[in-house]
Amino acid sequence: MRISLLFLITLFGVSICGYAQNKQLLYDFTEIPQSININPGAEIDYQWFAGVPALSGVSFQAGSSGVSAYDLFANDGLDFNVKVRERLLNGMSTRDELSGTYQLELFNIGFRGKDQNIFYSMGIYHEGDAIGYWFQDYALLAIDGNADQLNRRFDLGDLKTRGEMMNVFHFGINKSIDRKLTLGVRAKVYSSIFDFNSTNNKGFFVTRPGSNNTFSSTLNADMRWRTSGINEIKRALDDGTLGNTIFKRGFFGGNLGVGIDLGFTYKFSNQTVLTGSLLDLGLIYHANDVENYTLVGDVTTEGVEVILPDALVNSNEDFWQNLVDDIEEIVPFENNFNSYITFRPTKLNASIRHNWGEPTLRAANCDCGPYATSSNRVEKFVNGVGAQLYMINRPRGPQTALTAFYMRRFGNFMAVKTTYTIDKFSYSNIGLGLNLQAGPVNLYLLADNLLAYRNIANTRYTSFQLGLNIISWGKN
Amino acid sequence: MRNHLQNFGIAILTLGMLMSCSEELDFKQFDDVEATPTYEASILYLEAPENIINLVNTADNVISQNFNFDAFSSNIFAKRVIEGTITYVVENTTSKELEINIEFLDDNGNVTDTELFVIPSAPTATIEREIAYGPSGQSIDIITTLSTIRVTARNLGDNTSQSNLSDPMITVKSSGKFRVRLK
């Protein structure tokens, strides 16, 4: 009964494992089974594993490269409008972003095949991801307006945002080619719940001295806002059927896509290891519940113009309405239902690690008692130090993070990894990961940007991950 | 075993939360944010060449025209406007003195504001005038109820002379500069 309950929970349960987009603590932390999800070519030695629900909660990553909540909302007695002007309008650029990601592991298992060199893994996870860049010129128009700014072009391209929610179904194969090289590949099917994106806007709004009248106002717009699933979500909110709708769309009732992860581990020697992975090389085709909005055109106006004698031809002409109609015709705000494709934010990870110290004991060598079986455990050194590179494709180009890490193993029951990461969010990001192994039970807790915990409100980046797995190094 | 692990996990989380700090934030400050931008744009441009003025041969040499203008009375503007100015630039390059009267009318045809320009003949004939509306000027209601602009032109000279300047004409430029409350 307990086994079947465990099995059911494992299959359909709510093992909550949250990941940041950059999972520098989890990457190459091969004691943790989820590390195979960010490097399908990781060198793993389990016979099988299964994610287990144990610790409920929400795991997430959120970052703001411009300001923190504390910068704006600290109870410091300063005029809020002054803070908005100094820290947002004057303090941020269009490369600053507000972004967030979460992943919720619904089901995750892995097992070694008959060929002991091949390890299969599969699962389902739920993911939400959104990013919005600081829309500087829109904010300036909204706070200051266009007065006394002749010839200043307000860039409509400052609107750059995207977001999505989906379920991901994945199946991976990890093969140990020889003692030096391990390769991995993971196929993914994306079931998009909703998507919105407006990332390729162009155009400007400018006020210049007019040729006839005092000012000429020009709107040059090439803007697109694409959505899928949003209308159905809105209807579900009205009908009180949000849960059902998300479930249905997340299980192949929305829009579908495919993708692939690739990864490798290469040992130059027992002590020097190179790894790399390319994740979410994929796309989603949106054809279900699509609605897009466009604003395209180029118009210049100097207000209502009445030039005699031409204006005398029709004395009842409504010049104002004609002007409005002309502008709406030249720069129409329209909607359409055309299908579209989005590319997933592809991630690149790489690391080089040097190990030293006493190798940990193989499980088969331990004092395990009369029921001990053979094991696949690979030799691991007590210490590891190295560097990692992370890149992700974002609407304003790739974002990069560099990490230095140190890993320490305490026998087979505990491993600790600490990281120092530099990226656009922080230059003082120190993270700590703890992995505990109690028999077959594996518990891990990874927390990022620990210095920020002195005042969480003042952090521009935070993430944490936790999870519980059952791992076996014995036979199937 | 599971209970022990759960307790261990909760203990770690609790410890983490106890060790972390967060200074007090006051999100109500957002209520204080003010967005009162000032926008400017052209409103109405009128142009009448001297040969057309000469053709006006009414009893009192007057010509008048109403122009529908709903931009300021639309809700998106009328409910947000705080104050502003309308600037007129009247230029006369004709050989005759002219009188231009600009009236603002509301939906019911009531005249709510009047600006009179008497502009001498060229070459020294340019008048620029800025009219304020709102707390430091006339009632902003004049702007928010504006439905029609009536322009009346009177020829105070003759109907035959022609200026030596190229393309002699009377032009009326007008632009608005208004502060609105978005939040």
Q: Is B146 a domain residue?
A: yes
pLDDT at residue A9, rounded to an integer? 33
The whole domain housing B107 covers: 33-180
Instruction: Tell me whether residue B153 is in a domain.
Output: yes
Q: Residue B110's pLDDT is what?
A: 95
CA neighbours within 13 Å on the CB side: how many for A393?
13
CB contact under 8 A, B26 and A74: yes
Interface contacts (A, B; CB < 8 Å):
164
For chain A, the average pLDDT equals: 85
Does the ipTM exceed 0.90? no
Tokens for A470?
A: 């059952």
Look at residue B25 and tell me if it is in a domain: no
Contact B37 A315 (CB under 8 A): no
Query: Could you tell me the residue range of the domain that residue A343 belongs to?
Result: 2-472
Structure tokens at B99: 């009188």
Q: What is the residue whose two structure tokens read 């054809």?
A: A287
Q: What is the reported pLDDT for A196?
A: 96
- The whole-number pLDDT of residue A65 equals 66
| Assessment of whether the complete model's pTM goes beyond 0.90 | no
In degrees rounded to 5, what are phi and psi of residue A250? -75, -15
Q: Is residue B8 part of a domain?
A: no
User: What pLDDT sits at residue A218?
Assistant: 96
Burial of A366 (0-12, 13-18, 19+ CB in 10 A): middle
pLDDT at B31: 84
Task: Judge whether B122 lies within some domain.
Answer: yes
Among residues A187, A186, A185, A344, the alpha carbon closest in space to that of A255 is found at A344
Nearest to A70 among B19, B25, B34 (CB): B25
**Residue A199 pLDDT:** 93
Residue from A141, A219, A306 whose CB has the most chain B CBs within 10 Å, to mutate: A306
Mean pLDDT of successive 10-residue segments in chain A (476 residues)?
35 34 88 92 91 52 69 82 84 84 86 93 91 92 94 96 95 94 97 96 96 96 96 94 94 96 95 96 96 97 87 76 92 96 95 89 48 60 95 89 94 91 87 91 87 70 80 73
Which of A177, A392, A170 is closest to A278 using CA atoms? A392
Read off the pLDDT of residues A345-360 as tens digits, 9 standing for 90 and up: 999 999 999 999 887 6
Q: Kindly determine whether residue B5 and residue A214, on different chains, have CB atoms separated by under 8 Å.
A: no
- Which whole number is the average pLDDT over B25-31? 81
B10, part of any domain: no
| CATH code, B124 | 2.60.120
Q: What is the mean pLDDT of residues B75-80?
A: 92
**pLDDT for res B15:** 52
- Provide CB contacts within 8 A for A424, sequence distance 6+: A65, A95, A97, A399
Q: What CA–CA distances, in Å, run from A271 to A15, A356, A384, A385?
A: 34, 6, 9, 10
Give the pLDDT score at A57: 31
Q: Which site among B6, B25, B65 would you substitute to test the A interface, given the most A Cβ atoms closer than 10 Å to its Cβ? A: B25
User: Which pLDDT value is given to residue A155?
Assistant: 97
**B61 falls within a domain:** yes
Whether B18 and A123 have beta carbons less than 8 Å apart is answered as no
B5 and A143: CB-CB below 8 Å? Answer: no
Q: How many domains does chain B have?
A: 1
B160 pLDDT above the threshold of 90: no
Q: B-chain residues within 8 Å CB-CB of A142?
A: 35, 37, 182
Provide the domain count of chain A. Answer: 1
Mutate to test the interface with B, among A2, A5, A320 (most CBs of B within 10 A): A320
Looking at the complex, report in whole angstroms how far the Cα of residue A439 sits from the nearest Cα belonging to chain B.
Answer: 11
Q: Residue A287 CB: number of other CB atoms within 10 A?
A: 14
Distance from C-alpha of A26 to C-alpha of A24, rounded to nearest angstrom: 6
**How would you write A319-332 as a 3-class SS string?**
HHHHHHHHHHHHCC
